[in-house]
Amino acid sequence: MPKRYQLLIFDWDGTLMDSASSIVGCIQQASADLGYPVPSRQAASHIIGLGLTQALYTLFPDMPETDIPRMADRYRACYLGQDAEIPLFDGAEALLGELHGRGHQLAVATGKARHGLRRAFEHTGLGRYFHASRTADETHSKPHPAMILELLDELRVDKEQALMIGDTSHDLEMARSAGVASLAAGFGAHPAEHLEDFGALRVCDSFTELAQWLLDNA
């Protein structure tokens, strides 16, 4: 079957890795440790996908600049203490292997820092499937379109041949701003009903549904 999309760009947390709960817990723990109001699960989930600094300013717009690195360090210490144990969604590795074998170019666009993505690649062994990646400490954070535009330029792919797959409104807004199609993972950080108004080709309710859609349509 001819490939409809030459390039498939995946978000990481909440899309390939079942990490949303861990991220929320670490944000809440870091907030409590520094004496800030502990954000609700909904509020903490909403900032998943943003770069860490932008995420903290979104949660705490009046936070003194000097507290940002302190909060970021507390969050990283919490998350990096458990990231090796966080599982992929069932079927994620098999899906990436199948798509790679079919000749798709695969990329990652994530709110993680480069160090965090490198650790994720090492822990999961999935790095071998990806042709390129962008992290929030290397370029503009989502929903700015820079990550996608830079990947398109690096891999020499036209916008019409690229698909963004992500679980947050930040992913879908980024795709729309970059002029590429998107597929929504409604089982991740943002609830499915929150993703319905961002122009995704489909909002998938499970990883199984998302994988099957890609195998049938990508």
Active site residues: 11, 13
Please state whether beta strands 105-110 and 132-135 pair in parallel, antiparallel, or not at all (unpaired): parallel
Three-state SS sequence of the chain: CCCCCCEEEECCECCCECCHHHHHHHHHHHHHHCCCCCCCHHHHHHCECECHHHHHHHHCCCCCCCHHHHHHHHHHHHHHCCHHHCCECCCHHHHHHHHHHCCCEEEEEECCCHHHHHHHHHHHCHHHHCCEEEECCCCCCCCCCHHHHHHHHHHCCCHHHEEEEECCHHHHHHHHHHCCEEEEECCCCCCHHHHCCCCCCCEECCHHHHHHHHHHHC
- Quick one: CA dihedral 123, 124, 125, 129, positive or negative? negative
Please, are residues 166 and 15 in contact by the beta-carbon 8 Å criterion?
A: yes
